[in-house]
Structure 1
């Protein structure tokens, strides 16, 4: 594939990294919002009497809104640019966080999650487009991995710090703190980021209707479907644990306090920060990358199965931490998408891929909520059912990716 990036002098690199870090601040806050449920789920259940099914719907609402907006955010980036798109959408994160902080019922919580999801929708997509335009193609996996790792600071916020804040005050204070962080991130982007240059030879941006029609060309390519099948379940499996079930599992299955569960969530988040940069640098290239994706997906499925059928607290803690490092292989999916499409389709391809990632998170969190609610009737322990279901979904996704057609290579 061609290298569609700006010239890479040291001065340009420093400027590009400064802008990218500002954009990454917005991505870090989106990471915090998508994992906040893992810590505030117990107090929400106590205050509003939420069922497991409602809890899954609450956590999934953010990701459904986030994923559903990806195609439109991709169009916005193509037509108006990354900077304008993210500055227009991200104030909704502040609005949604304030709505959540003042919620007095389940319906208002759901509405707040949807509003936050819309506001966060361009957060990582603008980073990937910025990287594709500002950095050489051979650096894409490494730079994307670095951004995923740095952006995982947002996961740290929803570990011990959020657990301490919630236990000392209330879950509402957690949302107020996130609202303040979102406002600071918006100001950093407004102050520091310029629109990245459009690569030479790229056609002028089409109008909105033409851009929508352009997605048809993407879905007509047979290899798109295998990419989307795998994308729907890989990141979703990590977020199902870290973003929803980790806290309740440790509290209910093993009797942890909320702060103890927060410590585990913090450790999981730290390892999650290390994984993407590691795998970005280990990227084996087009010849082996797809085999790696299948192999690591099956490995993570086996880890979920181990947690499902072994109820010792030490096993759940250690496997969760190790799995968060291994989950860094997901960055190889971005590199796979980058190499599977020509330069003129990269923006749309990344938007569709990101849509699949986060609609997958919404789907898996909703489905695991249904599984958790049905587990007593099946006479199966709740978390054995949830973790086993995730393992099965991952195994089926790996099989689909392996069987469906891959991209033709030159």
Structure 2
């Protein structure tokens, strides 16, 4: 069942990172500015993040299977609308629909793991799922670049629509709702949609929630803004790479990124030192972005991209930290809130860095240096909040 759920997560990884390769042809066809390009990439993540509240409630009230099977067809519809769109506005509508369809894709995996694996297995199993899900990013490296050059960017959307139909059929065949033992299951069964909505307030009243959300909103956002949006334009425009060469680098970053989550999951130090390791990893990633911003060279940029791909695996430790910060009956909504912060953070960072790039170009400043430095500053602010704001009083 987890493998079937992971197939939808892998497709969501493809959808959220395809902008890095599609950016040059989309800019040519629709005459897009950097800000519009950021809006295109961010539309998926805004819809994805905004729906996490409701997906968490749906999982807690109606179950994993019904939630993902009802939502995921929207991704197919959005991909087909994007493939045949003739206007930028319609392309954005397609991205929003894809974001809605993919909204429960990773959340159902994390909640499934939290409910049906012991707490000490959460980080290793989540890391494995994140690694397997990264297969979706492999598709949006060299394969997508080759398909775009051989056919068009529209063919990329059609291919992902076909794969999404296959993933939906696999989930419909394999996934059922297993019985949850114990009092937590009985509490879930009696929970109404209205009670689930009101219970989100309890999460916000806990003092440690703010620090968790501040970091959640920038860590994954930094990686996806690089891999899913700026990698292609940066290599093509800053260093003169071809689209296929950029696709090769994107593929390499994705391959390296596949090993990060399982590695960090297996090396999880446990509750006592987990938050310290999260802080150190975030600082290292921020330093890498500062280096790319102010020491521009093809070798440095590619090396930091690869290192970021590996280090991004520490995000699995953030999930484990969130899993342990709230009682079991709040798991679905806590994970939904965390995931919402992650993807609204991606949407904001992609839109904001697009605006920064446009402003930098207008003032004669290297837009890529401005974008990379902005990401580094946002990472620094997020990790400061995580380290200095109140910490969870106990581990569940």
Task: Tell me the SS of whatever aligns to 1:356.
Answer: helix
Q: Which residue number corresponds to residue 143 of structure 1?
A: 125
Q: Which residue number corresponds to residue 161 of structure 1?
A: 143
- Does 2:157 align with 1:175? yes
1:391 aligned residue (376, 381, 387): 376
- Does 2:319 align with 1:334? yes
Question: What is the Cα deviation at residue 403 of structure 1?
Answer: 1.1
Q: What do the CA deviations read for 1:22-41 (whole angstroms, capped 9, x no partner)? A: 10000000000000100000
1:96–1:113: 8 Å Cα contact kept in structure 2?
yes
Q: Which residue number corresponds to residue 90 of structure 1?
A: 72
CA distance in structure 1 between the aligned counterparts of 2:364 and 2:324, rounded to whole angstroms: 47
Q: Greater CA deviation, 131-140 or 300-309?
A: 131-140
CA distance in structure 1 between the aligned counterparts of 2:33 and 2:55, rounded to whole angstroms: 33
- Does 2:252 align with 1:267? yes
Q: Which residue number corresponds to residue 296 of structure 1?
A: 281
Task: Tell me the SS of whatever aligns to 1:290.
Answer: helix
Question: What is the Cα deviation at residue 409 of structure 1?
Answer: 2.4
Runs of 5+ unmatched residues, structure 2: none
1:23–1:189: 8 Å Cα contact kept in structure 2?
yes
1:101 aligned residue (76, 83, 104): 83
- Does 2:19 align with 1:34? no
Question: What is the Cα deviation at residue 259 of structure 1?
Answer: 0.3
- Normalising by structure 2, report the TM-score: 0.98
Question: What is the Cα deviation at residue 208 of structure 1?
Answer: 1.1
1:103–1:109: 8 Å Cα contact kept in structure 2?
yes
Once the two structures are superposed, the pairs formed by residues 10-409 of structure 1 within 5 Å of their partners are: 19-202=1-184, 203=187, 204-409=189-394
Q: What do the CA deviations read for 1:251-297 (whole angstroms, capped 9, x no partner)? A: 00011110000000000000110000000001111111111111111
1:48–1:105: 8 Å Cα contact kept in structure 2?
yes
Runs of 4+ more than 4 Å apart: none
CA distance in structure 1 between the aligned counterparts of 2:36 and 2:181, rounded to whole angstroms: 46
CA distance in structure 2 between the aligned counterparts of 1:74 and 1:47, rounded to whole angstroms: 38
CA distance in structure 2 between the aligned counterparts of 1:309 and 1:199, rounded to whole angstroms: 55
- Normalising by structure 1, report the TM-score: 0.95
CA distance in structure 2 between the aligned counterparts of 1:353 and 1:201, rounded to whole angstroms: 24
CA distance in structure 1 between the aligned counterparts of 2:155 and 2:21, rounded to whole angstroms: 13
Runs of 5+ unmatched residues, structure 1: 1-18
1:41–1:55: 8 Å Cα contact kept in structure 2?
yes
Would the alpha carbon gap of residues 296 and 216 (structure 1) be closer, same or farther in structure 2, given more than 3 Å must change?
Answer: same
CA distance in structure 1 between the aligned counterparts of 2:205 and 2:180, rounded to whole angstroms: 25
Would the alpha carbon gap of residues 205 and 180 (structure 1) be closer, same or farther in structure 2, given more than 3 Å must change?
Answer: farther
Q: What do the CA deviations read for 1:73-102 (whole angstroms, capped 9, x no partner)? A: 011101110011000000011100000000
CA distance in structure 2 between the aligned counterparts of 1:215 and 1:386, rounded to whole angstroms: 34
CA distance in structure 2 between the aligned counterparts of 1:329 and 1:179, rounded to whole angstroms: 30
